[in-house]
Amino acid sequence: MGFGLNRSGCCSGTLVILMLILSTWLCGIQASLSLGPGGEFPGLYDFIFYAFSNEELTSILHNISLLLWLGPCQERRWGTFVFLALSCISTLLLPPIYALFLFVTGDEASRVSGYSATHLALFTAQCRQVKQRRVLRCVPVWLWPWLVLLLDLFLLPSVPGLLHFYAICLGLNYNNDFIEILEQMGTWGSCACLPKWAYVPATSRHSQLPLYHNTSQRSELEDYSTWEQSASELHQDTLLEADTRLLEEQMLRAGILASLHDSSEGIPEKVELPKSSVSSLRLQQLEKMGFPTEKAVVALAATGQLDGAISLLIDDQIGEEAVVISKAKKSPPLSF
């Protein structure tokens, strides 16, 4: 379903939780919390093992099925450390949140046990982070936790529905920044005592470059990036220099043609002069004065200044040898 990432390693966190659930069931350990007005103050034993204890066969089958389905996906998405950290945080925070609601509303005490609420909190956080909008082409991703909530109401009638509702609300608060902090804590060596194959590493999802443990590899990557940037700048400078040379050559042709207008020698060949080679603002000023566009372009190309161009135009020193075009293109070599 695309809910996980392909990180290598053993899903040891899922295995640990699965072993705890099976051990409490096989050993007959019964631990639960009585929350709300009139409830008993929970002991440390109950507060630790209530999430792994199941009073019904339907409950343990439901929790194991969800753990085997969602646990590996979540652990490969976040890493073993983040997966276990979110599981512990959800397990510890849900009872106080639910008890506070019962005291505020004055409802009767309620017994809580099982791992289903923690499942729902982690599944909500997982759905919140996936990029795709729909699953199975028809169901929006945000709707899946609520569908699981409805399923829990039918399969687990002894578990309070409001506890699962607050589990969804808690999962919605596990944003990317919070998970990123947990991932960094896991990267700093929280599982350093274990071999790398025994857990899924908590590498950052948001990094665009891979993590390099070898300094020479990082240096090679930086050298390649610097070389690629220098090559791009050199290519742009070459194109700019070529355009500048072409413009200077065309302006030189126009100036020579203007100076040869009064010459009695042979008439030189016609030259194509791009209109974009001169300032459009100065050209508009000359056109407003009544000078022809073609001669104004040649005068500006020959002098480069407005006053000089006006002097050439008033003295009628611009001939008909230059042809003004709208686009620039390379001219043939200049010959005399």
DSSP assignments along 27-55, one per residue: TT----EEESTTPPPPPHHHHHHGGG--S
Closest CA to 57 of 155, 194, 125, 182: 155
Q: Cβ-count burial of 71 within 10 angstroms (0-12 exposed, 13-18 middle, 19+ buried)?
A: buried
Classify residue 172 as left (phi > 0), alpha (psi -120 to 50) or beta: alpha
| The predicted structure's pLDDT at residue 209 | 42
Where a domain ends, among 189, 209, 243? Answer: 189
- List, in order, residues 6 or more apart from 249 with CB less than 8 Å away: 331, 334
Residues 148 and 287 in one domain: no
- Say which residue, 57 or 238, is predicted with more confidence: 57
Closest CA to 101 of 50, 164, 42, 54: 164
Cβ(317)–Cβ(296) below 8 Å:
no
Residues 298 and 183 in one domain: no
Q: Is residue 267 part of a domain?
A: no
Q: Is residue 60 part of a domain?
A: yes
* 215 phi/psi in degrees, rounded to 5: -65, -35
Residue 34 reports pLDDT greater than 90? no
Residues 184 and 309 in one domain: no
Where a domain ends, among 166, 189, 212? Answer: 189
The one-letter amino acid at 261:
H
Cβ(284)–Cβ(335) below 8 Å:
no
Residues 173 and 299 in one domain: no
Residues 155 and 32 in one domain: yes
Residues 185 and 284 in one domain: no
CA–CA separation, 296 and 127 (whole Å): 69
Tell me the average pLDDT of the chain. Answer: 75
Residue 168 reports pLDDT greater than 90? yes
**Which residue range(s) make up the domain with 56?**
12-189
CA–CA separation, 85 and 182 (whole Å): 8
CA angle at residue 217 from 216 to 219, to 5 degrees?
65
Residue 206 reports pLDDT greater than 90? no
| The predicted structure's pLDDT at residue 149 | 92
CA–CA separation, 96 and 35 (whole Å): 8
Six token digits for residue 131:
């990029």
Q: Is residue 205 part of a domain?
A: no
Residues 42 and 182 in one domain: yes
Q: Is residue 328 part of a domain?
A: no
Residue 152 reports pLDDT greater than 60? yes
Kindly indicate the confidence band of residue 117, based on its pLDDT and cuts at 50, 70 and 90. very high
- Say which residue, 287 or 218, is predicted with more confidence: 287
* 267 phi/psi in degrees, rounded to 5: -80, 125
CA–CA separation, 295 and 297 (whole Å): 5
CA–CA separation, 265 and 262 (whole Å): 9
Residues 28 and 176 in one domain: yes
Q: Is residue 58 part of a domain?
A: yes
| The predicted structure's pLDDT at residue 213 | 42
Closest CA to 5 of 104, 73, 90: 73
Residue 122 reports pLDDT greater than 90? yes
Residues 182 and 48 in one domain: yes
Where a domain ends, among 127, 155, 189? Answer: 189
Residue 261 reports pLDDT greater than 90? no
- Say which residue, 51 or 306, is predicted with more confidence: 51
Q: Is residue 333 part of a domain?
A: no
| The predicted structure's pLDDT at residue 227 | 52
Residues 173 and 294 in one domain: no
CATH of the domain at 95: 1.20.1540.10
Question: For the residues 149-174, what does the mean pLDDT come to?
Answer: 90
Residue 323 reports pLDDT greater than 50? yes
Q: Highest mean pLDDT range out of 92-96, 103-107, 130-134, 188-192?
A: 92-96
Residue 262 reports pLDDT greater than 80? no
Cβ(298)–Cβ(258) below 8 Å:
yes
% residues pLDDT > 90 (the chain): 18
Closest CA to 322 of 288, 291, 299: 299
Q: Is residue 59 part of a domain?
A: yes
CA–CA separation, 296 and 189 (whole Å): 75
- Say which residue, 305 or 331, is predicted with more confidence: 305
pTM over 0.75: no
| The predicted structure's pLDDT at residue 269 | 55
Domain total in the chain: 2
Q: Is residue 245 part of a domain?
A: no
Per residue, the 3-state secondary structure of 124-172, as one string, reads HHHHHHCCCCEECCCEEHHHHHHHHHHHHHHHCCCCCHHHHHHHHHHHH
Question: For the residues 61-83, what does the mean pLDDT come to?
Answer: 90
